A and B are shown apart, each in its own frame.
Chain A
Amino acid sequence: MLKARAFATSVAGWTEWIGTRVAAWAIFVAVLGGLTPGPRSHRAVAASPPLTIGFIYVGPKSDYGYNQAHAQGAAVIAKLPGVKIREEEMVPETSAVQKTMESMINLDGATVLFPTSFGYFDPHILKEAAKYKNVTFLHCGGLYTEGKHPTNVGSYFGYIDEAQYVAGIVAGMSTKSNKLGFIAAKAIPQVLRNINSYTLGARSVNPKATTTVIFTGDWSMPVKEAEAANSLIDQGIDVLTMHVDSPKVIVETAERRGIMVTGYHANQAALAPKGYLTGAEWNWGKVYTDYVGMIQAGKPYPHLLRGGLKEGFVKVSPYGKMVSAAAKKKADAAKAKFMDGKMVVYKGPLKDNTGKVVIAAGVEQKQTDIALEKMDYLVEGVVGKTH
């Protein structure tokens, strides 16, 4: 018992010791906090203030992918007269992005924001837009619903599956094993649409082609992506493509293993000089320039803005050296049809890969068709399941 007493007292002494330290800490921080003045007025507004535009990225802006495509667009408008841009990268889709938006508005004086990640929209942008009514929020994702969402919000997106369809044609013409591989992050409609368009493009010129899909489950997970690429290549796949945030690792792996690859988001030709066939790229510079022009002129801007190859929202990477003349011809023909607005990718009869008819004969689903936004199937010719 004596021993326990001694022990107890030493514990007591110790906690007292800890306690004083913590109190000191609390004082230290309180002093910091006490220095905090009340609300401060905005910085003085200059005579003709530049338009301050904030860009927010979910990943690094040099990722050779999703974020780089947006950062390239931002770089284009940074050169416009009367425009100042502020950029912040690696902002997660949590309350952190709300605070980043507020910080750009309150501390940088931004009046136009481009929060570029899909997941920023609901609830983050919606909440901030309701709070800051004289700031314009332009979001990448094409999610705006008239009447439901605040009027100071716009949402834009590109029909990148058109470029994927063309890339699929090139892949279908180039493959020797008739096995294509697709490494995708998640089984969501946007991704499934790319997989399906790619496969439909490939099979339009090569009915024997199949696309094997691997879902990594993460938007950016290089080790898993590399492992997926190797697994696919081990199964005899000779053309790879992907829908992940940063295609760099996959493109490099394909090049190293000596197979062909088509890119995504941005142009990755520099990473695979031998095997890069083509790719589906964004062209945000054009979209952003248009938006800024409208805002600077004080004109109303479209709340829901979408376009494909024809509108210049997306583009197809220049063909690589190994793309045959025949492949180029077929791809260019499809591209021309998209540019005319005559091409319809999704038309019946279309079966999914379990044999179920998903689009009945005679039905055409144009790019604006709402049904395509809810895609939950993989078309015939795709190896894999959506869940």
Chain B
Amino acid sequence: MGAQTGGGGVSAAAGVALGMVGGAIRISTPFLFVSLGECITEKSGRVNLGLEGTLVMGAMAAYGVSYLTSSPWLGVLAAGGCGVVLGALHGWLCARPRVNDVAVGIALMLFGVGLAFFLGKPLIGPTAPHLPSVSLGWWSASGQVRSALQVNALFVLGLVTTAAVRFVLRKTRWGLVIRTVGESADAARAMGYDIARVRLLATMAGGFLAGVGGSFLSLFYPGSWNEGLSSGQGLMAVALVIFARWDPVRCLLASLLFGGASALGPALQSVGVTSGYYLFNAAPYVLTLAIIVLTSSRDRALLGQPAELRMAR
């Protein structure tokens, strides 16, 4: 066995580590976009559980538009546009009396995924132009390092977005309005803000980012449209927001951690460690659960949690 793993223990371990770094960057991007989007929405005091539908819809739209126009960036925009429309539907429905936002989210998840599969049937076959990638590993002679640091343009955009969301939420008047609405609707109302409108816009913005996250799936990694594309990543990303405690930078870290853990199973197998692969493949879920349990507290609410939020108590 040892003889067949080739380079022996040290380089195998290094290979696994490199694989995880590369995997973290590859896998984390859709999580990052969706969780940033949900972060904005939840900061305004509303939960959109339907971003799984938005993600899949975005993936389909991006692939279709990229295929038809040969411009992947137009595809990204189309994906964002789909997200805005679904977000607006969510915001509009939730603004009506007695309509529950969690239920609307579940409905939109079903609707978005169903519509994407419906419209996407003819797109399973064709191949669409891809998004470009940026080589951050030019300094290294090692092919492994270079390929691990072959970073997608959307990931870079995701880093910029993280900083931007953080800045907007913390330092700008818009951010203040969103946070006020999320912390106390009464106070916001007293200050003369239109709560429904703020939440509508926050949900639309969140939808835009989630749609863009979907375009990454179909236009870069794995880079193809089919019905197994998401496997619940949108839903997981919404969960990661609670894990990240409504902080954009922590959303980034959580996404990277989740991506790295997801890459563990394949990376280990690629150097010959294949036993118990189901359990390795479950690593990101176990790890996330363990961290949540360890960081939760019996008696107080999570830090950074918008008080108006229904689901994230």
Contacts and interface: CB of A to CB of B under 8 A. Distances in A.
Q: Do A and B have CB atoms closer than 8 angstroms in the complex? A: yes
Contact of B269 (A210, A230, A384): A384
Nearest to A384: B274
B270 A228 contact: yes
A249 B147 CA distance: 18
B92 interface: no
Contact of B274 (A179, A215, A257, A354): A215
Contacts of A236: 143-144
B281 A223 contact: no
Interface residues on A, range: 35 or more
Contacts of B174: none
Contacts of B125: 62, 64
Interface stretch (B15-23, B36-44, B300-308): B15-23
B87 to A, nearest CB: 24
Interface string A208-246: 001011111100111111111011111111000000001
Given A60-B124, A223-B222, A252-B127, A235 B228 contact: no
Given A214-B266, A384-B272, A234 B19 contact: yes
B228 A232 contact: no
A264 B265 CA distance: 24
Contacts of A385: 274-275
A227 B262 contact: yes
A234 B272 contact: no
A223 B229 contact: yes
Interface string A259-277: 0000000000011000000
B68 to A, nearest CB: 18
A191 interface: no
9 contacts: A181-B270, A223-B222, A224-B266, A230-B22, A233-B147, A235-B6, A235-B144, A235-B271, A383-B272
Given A214-B270, A226-B221, A353-B4, A234 B227 contact: no
Interface in B208-226: 217, 221-224, 226
A353 to B, nearest CB: 7
Interface in B225-274: 226-229, 231, 233, 262-263, 265-267, 269-272, 274
B4 A383 contact: yes
Interface residues of B, number: 45
B27 interface: yes
Contacts of B226: 60, 63, 220, 222, 246, 248-249
Contacts of A246: 226, 228
B267 A231 contact: yes
B190 interface: no
Contacts of B1: 353-354
Nearest to B273: A385
Contacts of A248: 224, 226
Contacts of B127: 252, 270-271
Best-surrounded residue of A223, A236, A257 (most CB of chain B within 10 A): A223
A43 interface: no
Contact of B224 (A222, A233, A270, A353): A222
What 4 A-B pairs are tightest by C-beta distance, nearest first? A226-B222, A231-B270, A231-B266, A214-B269
Given A214-B269, A236-B143, 20 more contacts: A59-B227, A60-B227, A64-B125, A215-B277, A222-B224, A223-B27, A223-B262, A224-B281, A227-B26, A227-B27, A230-B22, A230-B26, A231-B19, A231-B267, A234-B22, A234-B144, A246-B228, A249-B223, A252-B127, A256-B223
B308 to A, nearest CB: 22
Given A223-B231, A384-B269, A384-B274, A231 B222 contact: no
B55 interface: no
Contacts of A213: 269, 274
B130 interface: yes
Contacts of A257: 147
